[in-house]
Amino acid sequence: MTRCIICDSDRLLIWLRLGEQKVLRCRDCDYAFRYPIPSQEELDSYMLASYKGEGLEETKDIFAHCGKGYGDDPIIKEYQETLARLGYYTDGRHLLDVGCGPGTFLDLARHSGWSVLGIDSCPSACAFAEKEFGLQVLNIQFEEAAPWPTPFDVITMWDFLEHVLNPAVVLTKANDKLKNQGLLFLALPNRRSLIYDLAEVLIKARLPLLRDQAQKLFHFSHISYFSMVSLQNLLQRTGFEIIEEHSMNPYLGRYQIPWYSKGFLQLVFNLAKLLKAQSRLWVIARKDKGLLNV
Ligand SMILES: [Zn+2]
């Protein structure tokens, strides 16, 4: 019998059907996940294709513009504001970015006085980060990372946790790699948001054209679909205490989508802001001493 990856409950519902695949939701901890879960090899080849611009047409431009010439757009401002918040909560400046991709965030962090290290399982992303920014980046799976001589003050994971096979294993590892009272930062999609509610309705309505558009929110490399409740539950189980949490809208500027789709999405995001149902979760948590059983 299939059980919840996070709390081991067998009280699972089928939330959505995506062709051959399903998204299951746990009634006990609100965690939702793709089923059957893809293999690590399938995920790695999907991420490599995305990085090369062979994945979603809509995200091609994001991967093409992540070098030194990055603009002063809202994504960069979000990186800088996050560094400022992390700096407010800790005096330490030793930072690990897990799933660092091409290294834009790490480059900004280094220029703000942080001592940085990156990890990414995609070899092309690592090669880019080293060549473009001269960054130290390890091409390994975080779960398999060997011990470091000194633990980190801060571990950041931008749009990473939703892609991993077992988020509980990853956060337990993060807890292990942090100093006492060290900080974990997470940014990831929010399943309990207006855009996901709308996508759910369109997928269930079985109108082929709209359903195909809505299914793009559930692309293959996303294993987990978190709500703030399920993320709080996971953080508590893996030894973290949340000290700051927000939801926010994504920046649409770098997505290659037609103007009318962009206009429609902007309308949905404006409404989501009013309803406090925005589609990205932004969380800073502090390492707590006690680990509950995962
Ligand atoms: Zn559960």
CA of residue 181 to ligand 1 center, whole Å: 27
- Residue 1 maps to a domain: no
* pLDDT at site 294: 44
pLDDT lower than 50: segments of the chain:
292-294
* pLDDT at site 37: 87
Residue 29 contacts residue 40 (beta carbons within 8 Å): no
Q: Edge-to-edge, what's the strand order for the sheet holding 240-248?
A: 137-138, 115-119, 94-98, 152-158, 178-189, 280-287, 240-248
* pLDDT at site 80: 92
Provide the domain count of the chain.
1
- Whichever domain contains 146, its CATH number is 3.40.50.150
CA of residue 176 to ligand 1 center, whole Å: 23
Structural domain range at position 243: 12-291
- Residue 195 maps to a domain: yes
CA of residue 11 to ligand 1 center, whole Å: 8
* pLDDT at site 125: 86
- From the list 80, 144, 73, the residue with the least C-alpha distance to 106 is 80
Tell me which residues have their CB within 5 A of the ion that is ligand 1: 4, 6-7, 9, 26, 28-29, 31
- Residue 142 maps to a domain: yes
- Residue 91 maps to a domain: yes
pTM of the predicted model, to two decimals?
Answer: 0.90
* pLDDT at site 207: 78
- Residue 7 maps to a domain: no
- Residue 233 maps to a domain: yes
CA of residue 25 to ligand 1 center, whole Å: 8
* pLDDT at site 52: 66
- Residue 123 maps to a domain: yes
* pLDDT at site 264: 85
- Residue 3 maps to a domain: no
Residues 6+ apart with CB under 8 A from 43: 163, 165, 221, 223
* pLDDT at site 208: 78
CA of residue 167 to ligand 1 center, whole Å: 12
CA of residue 138 to ligand 1 center, whole Å: 32
